[in-house]
Amino acid sequence: MADLKFQRNFGIAAHIDAGKTTTTERILRYTGMIHKIGEVHDGAATTDWMEQEKERGITITSAAVSCQWNFPTNKGKADANTKKYYFNIIDTPGHVDFTIEVERSMRVLDGLIALFSAVDGVEPQSETVWRQANRYKVPRIGFVNKMDRSGADFLMVVRQVKEMLGAKAVPLQLPIGAEDDFKGVVDLIRMKGIIWDMATEGMTFEEIEIPADMLEEAQEWRGHLIEAVAEYDDKLLEKFFEDPNSISDDEVHEAIRKACVDLSIVPMMCGSSFKNKGVQTALDAVCRYLPSPVDIDAVEGTNPDTGEAEIRKPDAKEPFAALAFKIMTDPFVGRLAFFRCYSGHLDAGSYVLNVRSGKNERISRIMKMFANKQNPIDFIEAGDIGAAVGFKDIKTGDTLCDEKHPIALENMFIPEPVIAIA
Ligand code: GDP
């Protein structure tokens, strides 16, 4: 069984046009699953599934894509300490028509990259998604994209996240250079400059001393960062004032992780996905700060026979329980039901109970979606996300479970979205 500690189920949420599709593509490229970056304006983006979506050039579906990431890396290069992390990226639609779809995906993910445009800052859809993420208590990292654009302003967006979204947004970085000259960031944890190496498409970076004219500002922001997470480590503030050099990077990372998972801060980073700058640093932050399936609370539901409350822990030995969050038609395999497996183990070819319909249905195949291919898998276990083939009657929000241990996970009873075609 895969170690759930190394798994991350996360989404990327953004207002339309902030760069979610581009960022997703960079991630899939970095993680080695696609070789050619589809151009967004051609409508060939990997996460674009439906014709309509291609026509409109926006992402409206909630596909889940799986990939692997090596972490930690030594300046972007894998070394002996590097471990493989498994990502399921749940696509959260960015168009205002589809907030119900966002809601569904929010239910099944454990963390979020909240993407903002460095020029446009907090936009109406960012606010909607933010509120939904609050409702489901989803820890998030803020990524301020488009730092290469004219008028880009990282700290303006940080301020807006505080003021407009009411979150304690805490910069982990400061940009080095701006607009065309945007070349790196000051890492406020390591207190070093990072300059991305464009020869490796920004996968690796050089470490430099913090530019002299930024040192004072960096020290000030590091102070804000330490203060913001100090309550998660008693000694941090003391060390900061008495002997700042005695603070290790790991101590700061751990305090940030706890504060982020607790929803008391939103760590803020910046980059340009279009220019391949900063996306890999954000992926490192996903591994560092966003929770794994074992870090989240056990899921609650009700026994449909007795009405009693039941819980399911993220453990393969528990009875199987899963929630279908997206049904879509795939040109190759037909109807696909994306589901999050909260507990237990399910073999392809076996039967599950759909609590709503009361029927046992056979799942002929279980698929994992990679950037541009679908791989059948033999089984799926707690914490993972997959797509099932073979259902005759399935709707989003349905609970799938072990017949002998029935459970209805919270059902949102939300209507199907009305898709307005312009
Ligand atoms: P989405 O609607 O959030 O999925 O946004 P897209 O990924 O489709 O990006 C919208 C537009 O912004 C496209 O033309 C992208 O090429 C462009 N874009 C995305 N990221 C960046 C960036 O970091 N810098 C610049 N200059 N343009 C970007």
Residue nearest to atom 21 of ligand 1 (CA): 274
**100: phi then psi, degrees, rounded to nearest 5:** -65, -35
- DSSP calls for 97-137: GGHHHHHHHHHH-SEEEEEEETTTBS-HHHHHHHHHHHHTT
* 272 within ligand 1 shell (Cβ under 6 A): yes
* 16 within ligand 1 shell (Cβ under 6 A): yes
Q: How far is the CA of 246 from the centre of ligand 1 (A)?
A: 41
Mean pLDDT for the chain overall: 86
Tokens of 302: 């009700």
Residue nearest to atom 16 of ligand 1 (CA): 274
- pLDDT band, very low/low/confident/very high, at 372 (cuts 50, 70, 90): low
Percent residues over pLDDT 70 in the chain: 86
What pLDDT score does 414 carry?
44
Counting from 1 in the atom list of ligand 1, the atom nearest the Cα of 23 is 7
What pLDDT score does 95 carry?
61
What pLDDT score does 71 carry?
87
Residue nearest to atom 17 of ligand 1 (CA): 19
Counting from 1 in the atom list of ligand 1, the atom nearest the Cα of 57 is 8
Distances (CA, A) of 242 to 230, 246, 254: 14, 9, 20
What pLDDT score does 166 carry?
96
Q: What is the pLDDT of residues 144-186, one digit of tens each?
A: 999 999 999 999 999 999 999 999 999 999 999 989 999 999 9
How large is the average pLDDT for residues 71-97?
Answer: 78
The model's pTM: 0.89
What pLDDT score does 57 carry?
35
Q: How far is the CA of 245 from the centre of ligand 1 (A)?
A: 39
Annotated binding site for GTP: 14-21, 91-95, 145-148
- pLDDT band, very low/low/confident/very high, at 410 (cuts 50, 70, 90): low
ipTM score of complex? 0.98
270 against 3, higher pLDDT: 270
- pLDDT band, very low/low/confident/very high, at 63 (cuts 50, 70, 90): low
User: Per-residue pLDDT for 201 more than 90?
Assistant: no
Counting from 1 in the atom list of ligand 1, the atom nearest the Cα of 272 is 23
What pLDDT score does 40 carry?
39
- DSSP calls for 262-309: TTS-EEEEE-BTTTTBSHHHHHHHHHHHSPPTTTSPPEEEE-TTT--E
* 145 within ligand 1 shell (Cβ under 6 A): yes
What pLDDT score does 61 carry?
41
Residue nearest to atom 19 of ligand 1 (CA): 19
* 24 within ligand 1 shell (Cβ under 6 A): no
Annotated binding site: 14-21, 91-95, 145-148
Q: Where are the beta strands (DSSP E) in 120-239?
A: 140-145, 169-171, 173-176, 184-187, 192-196, 205-208
Which of 40, 60, 270, 276 has most ligand 1 atoms within 8 Å of its beta carbon, as the pocket-test mutant?
40
Q: What is the pLDDT of residues 337-366, one digit of tens each?
A: 999 999 999 999 999 999 999 999 999 999
Q: How far is the CA of 421 from the centre of ligand 1 (A)?
A: 23
Residue in 233, 224, 293 with CA at minimum distance from that of residue 257: 233
* 22 within ligand 1 shell (Cβ under 6 A): yes
Ranking 14-28, 255-269, 408-422 by mean pLDDT, the lowest is 408-422
Q: Is-contact 196 161, C-beta < 8 A?
A: no
Euclidean distance between CA atoms 244 and 223, whole angstroms: 10
Q: What is the pLDDT of residues 283-337, one digit of tens each?
A: 999 999 999 999 988 999 999 889 899 999 999 999 999 999 888 887 777 788 9
